[in-house]
Each structure stands twice: as structure tokens, then as C-alpha cells.
Amino acid sequence: ALHGHRRVEQDDWLWPRRGDWMARLDEVLQDVTAGGAVLVAHSLGCQLVAAWAAHSGHTNRVRAALLVAPPDTEREDMPPNLLPWRPIVRQRLPFASTVVTSSDDPYGAPERSAQMAREWGAERVDIGARGHINGESGLGDWAAGRELLEQLRH
């Protein structure tokens, strides 16, 4: 909101259903003209963007995506509420994308994050040991993240 962006509100954060989340993203993007949206996703939102892009007929509305800290939902220790997010969609994204990873993300090993970035056709930026790249990562307003977003926008 600080920068005039719109957040996609999902209905259920405790038991997220991939199909429901994909439908909601598709609904929000109906109001966007072709090439007008730049998606920014964190954690499970990264898996959402990949799944949505593989199935939607509206991917032309998205110019680019910044995908931060994608979790490995195929890990053995994932909680049961994330099991519906398997398998990870590995299709190349039809728009420019950057995946931002951390070398010590508790939800995704660096080699798995790198693999997702390659499969999605995304540039990968590793920012070092920053955990799950969230409010606990000590990044504040994260000017470097904003810079990555601006690079994708232009």
C-alpha cells in the first residue's frame, strides 16, 4: 500500500487450497490490461504464481514476477495443510521473473531453490543468510528488493 500496489487477499491462510488461490489470482488479474501487472510473491505465493501460470489463459496480463523465498513443498517435513501444493509446478514461466533466495531458508534448501529458478526460467539472486526473507530477516523496508522489482518493471 505504501507504494500504491494491490495485495491479492486469499480466503484461507491456514489451509490454503491451490485451486482456490489460483482462481482468486486469476479473478484479480481480470481487471489488468495485457502486460500491465508485475507480480510480487513471497513463500507459498511463489508456488501460486507457478501453478497459476501453468493453467491460466490470462498470463499475457503479467509482465514480470518477483518471487521471494519459494518453499520446497515436496519436503518430507511439510505440514499437512501444504500437501495439496504438491507436486511443485516446474513449467517455464511465460514472463520475465527473478527468484530471490536465502542460503539458510528453513523452508527450502539453496539447491532446491536454484532448481526451481532454473525450471521456471527465472534469474536467481541469492542474498546470503537471511532466513525466510521476511520481517525477521532484518531487512527493514528492503531497498534492495525494491530495486529488483524496479528492474523487472522496466
Q: 95 pLDDT band (50/70/90 cuts)?
A: very high
What is the rounded CA–CA span in Å between residue 57 and residue 26?
9
* Residue 68 contacts residue 44 (beta carbons within 8 Å): no
Which cell is 110 given?
Answer: 539453496
What was the pLDDT predicted at 55? 97
Q: What percent of the chain has pLDDT over 70?
A: 99
What is the rounded CA–CA span in Å between residue 113 and residue 65?
16
Residue 104: which of 76, 147, 137 has the closest Cα? 137
What is the rounded CA–CA span in Å between residue 151 and residue 123?
12
What was the pLDDT predicted at 5? 77
Residue 67: which of 87, 93, 91, 34 has the closest Cα? 93
Q: What is the mean pLDDT of residues 146-150?
A: 89
Of residues 74 and 5, more confidently modeled: 74
Q: What digits encode the pLDDT tens for the residues 115-147?
A: 999 999 999 999 999 989 877 787 778 788 889
In a 10 Å sphere around its CB, with 0-12 CB exposed, 13-18 middle and 19+ buried, how is residue 13 labelled?
exposed
Q: What digits encode the pLDDT tens for the residues 50-76?
A: 999 999 999 999 999 999 999 999 999
